[in-house]
Structure 1
Amino acid sequence: MTTTPSSPGAAPEGEPLGPEPVSDSPLAGGSQPEAPQQTRTESFLHQVMSSSWVLTLGAVVLAILLGAVLIVATDAEVQATASYFFARPSDFFAAAWRAASEAYIALFQGAIYDSNATSFVRAIRPITETLTIATPLILAGLSIGLGFRAGLFNIGGQGQVILGAIGATWLGFALHLPVGLHLLVALLGAAAGGAIWAGIAGVLKARTGAHEVIVTIMLNNIAGFFVLWLVYTKYFASKTPGVSKPIQSTAMLPKLLPDPFRLHLGFVLALAIAVGVWWLMERSSLGFKLRAVGSNARAARTAGISVAAMTVAAMAISGALSGLAGGTLVLGTEGKLSAAVVGSIGFDAITVALLGRSKPLGTVLAGLLFGALAAGGRLMQTRTGTPLDLVLVLQSFIVLFIAAPPLVRSIFRLPAPGSGKRPTRAKQATVPTEQAGAAA
Structure 2
Amino acid sequence: MSAPYAKLPAWVDYGLIPLINLVVAFMVAGLVVLAVGESPLRAASLLIQGAFGYGEGIGFTLYYATNFIFTGLAVAVAFHCGLFNIGGEGQAYVAGLGVALPILWLDQIMPWYVVFPAAILGSALVGAAWAFIPGWLQAKRGSHVVITTIMFNFIASSLMVYVLVDVLKPAGSMAPQTRTFEEGGQLPRLDWLLSPFGLDIGGAPFNLSFLLALVAAFVVWVVIWRTRLGYEIRTMGHSPKAARYAGIKESRIIIITMMMSGALAGMMALNPIMGDQHRMQLDFVTGAGFVGIAVALMGRSHPVGIVPAAILFGVLYQGGAEISFEMPQISRDMITIIQGLVILFAGALENMFRPAITTFFATLGSAGETKTAPAAE
TM range (shorter): 0.7 to 0.9
| Structure 1 residue 329 corresponds to structure 2 residue 291 | no
Match of 1:106 among 34, 46, 51: 46
Pick one of 171, 181, 197 that aligns with 2:130.
Answer: 197
2:178 is the counterpart of 1:247: no
Q: For structure 1, which runs of at least 5 residues remain unmatched after alignment?
A: 1-45, 76-95, 114-122
What's the CA shift for 1:388?
Answer: 1.9
Is 2:20 the partner of 1:58?
yes
Report how far residue 222 of structure 1 moved: 0.1
Q: Distance in 1 between matches of 2:351 and 2:235?
A: 27
Tell me whether 250-259 or 371-380 shows the greater mean CA deviation: 250-259
* Post-superposition offset of 1:409: 4.7
Cα contact 1:167–1:190 (8 A) shared by 2: yes
Corresponding residue SS for 1:134: helix
The whole-number CA distance in structure 2 between the counterparts of 1:409 and 1:262 is 39
Kept after mapping to 2: 8 A contact 1:170/1:236: no
* Aligned residue number for residue 70 of structure 1: 32
Aligned to 1:178: 110
Report the Cα distance in structure 2 between the residues aligned to 1:236 and 1:181, rounded to whole angstroms.
25
Q: Distance in 2 between matches of 1:69 and 1:427?
A: 43
Cα 1:264–1:242, aligned 2, differ >3 Å: closer, same or farther?
same
Contact 1:50 1:416 (8 Å CA) reproduced: no
Instruction: Kindly name which structure, 1 or 2, has the bigger radius of gyration based on alpha carbons.
Output: 1
Identity %: 30
How many angstroms does 1:237 deviate by? 4.0
Task: Give yes or no for contact 2:71–2:289 (8 Å, CA) kept in 1.
Answer: yes
Structure 2 match to 1:408: 353
Q: Give 1:421 deviation, angstroms.
A: 7.2
In the TM superposition, what is the alpha-carbon distance from 1:218 to its structure 2 partner? 0.9
Question: 1:348, 1:363 → 2: CA distance?
Answer: 12
- Supply the AA of the counterpart residue of 2:149: T
User: What is the CA–CA distance in structure 2 between the aligned matches of 1:159 and 1:429, rounded to whole Å?
Assistant: 57
Measure the CA separation in 2 of the matches of 1:324 and 1:196: 13
The residue that corresponds to 1:16 in the other structure is none
> 1 CA distance for matches of 2:207 and 2:138?
37
Q: In the alignment, residue 56 of structure 1 is paired with which amino acid? A: P
Q: Which segments of structure 1 move beyond 4 Å, counting only runs of 4 or more?
A: 425-432
Aligned partners of 1:138 and 1:364 also within 8 Å = yes
Question: Residues 429, 242 of structure 1: CA spacing in aligned structure 2 closer, same or farther, 3 A cutoff?
Answer: closer
Partner of 1:306 in structure 2?
249
CA distance in 2, matches of 1:429, 1:124: 53
> How far has the Cα of 1:250 moved from its partner?
1.1
Counterpart amino acid of residue 273 in structure 1: A
Q: Any gaps of 5 or more consecutive residues in structure 2?
A: 1-7, 192-200
**C-alpha spacing 1:426/1:241, structure 2 compared with 1 (3 Å):** closer
Q: For residue 44 of structure 2, what is the amino acid of its counterpart?
A: Y
Please tell me the root mean square deviation across aligned C-alpha atoms, in Å: 2.5
- The CA deviation string for residues 139-161 of structure 1, in whole angstroms up to 9 with x for no partner, is 11100011001111101001101
Matches within 5 A, 1:145-294: 145-176=76-107, 177-179=109-111, 180-237=113-170, 239-257=173-191, 260-294=203-237
Equivalent pair of 1:173/1:246 in contact (CA under 8 Å): no
Q: Secondary structure at 1:407's aligned position in 2?
A: coil
Tell me the residue number matched to 1:398: 342
* TM-score using structure 1 length: 0.75
CA contact (8 A) 1:47 1:417 kept: no
Change (3 A) 1:298 1:236: farther
Q: Is the 8 A contact 2:106 2:184 kept in 1?
A: no
Partner Cα distance (1:404, 1:260) in 2: 38
Partner of 1:78: none
Contact 2:169 2:176 in 1 (8 A): no
Distance 1:360 1:417, change over 3 A: farther
Counterparts in 2 of 1:421 and 1:293: CA distance versus 1, 3 Å:
farther
Instruction: Give the residue type in structure 1 aligned to 2:352.
Output: L
Distance 1:126 1:280, change over 3 A: same
Structure showing greater relative contact order (alpha-carbon pairs closer than 8 Å, 6 or more residues apart): 2
Tell me, yes or no, if the aligned pair for 1:193 and 1:323 is still in contact at 8 Å: yes
Q: After the TM superposition, which of the residue ranges 146-155 and 379-388 deviates more from structure 2?
A: 379-388
Match 2:62 to one of 127, 131, 139: 131
Measure, in 2, the Cα distance between the counterparts of 1:430 and 1:110: 54
1:261 Cα deviation after fit: 3.6
Could you tell me which amino acid in structure 2 is paired with residue 293 of structure 1?
Answer: M
Q: Using structure 2 for the length normalisation, give the TM-score.
A: 0.87
Q: Is the partner of 2:9 in helix, strand or coil? A: helix
Match of 2:3 in 1: none
Which residue number corresponds to residue 343 of structure 1?
286
How many residues were matched structurally? Answer: 355
User: What SS is found at the alignment partner of 2:270?
Assistant: helix
Letter aligned with residue 125 of structure 2? A
Report the AA paired with residue 74 of structure 2: S
Q: Supply the distance in 2 between the matched residues of 1:47 and 1:261 (Cα, whole angstroms).
A: 40
Q: Does the 8 A contact of 1:49 with 1:415 survive in 2?
A: no
Whole-Å separation in 2 of the counterparts to 1:53 and 1:260: 34
Distance 1:197 1:263 in 2: 27
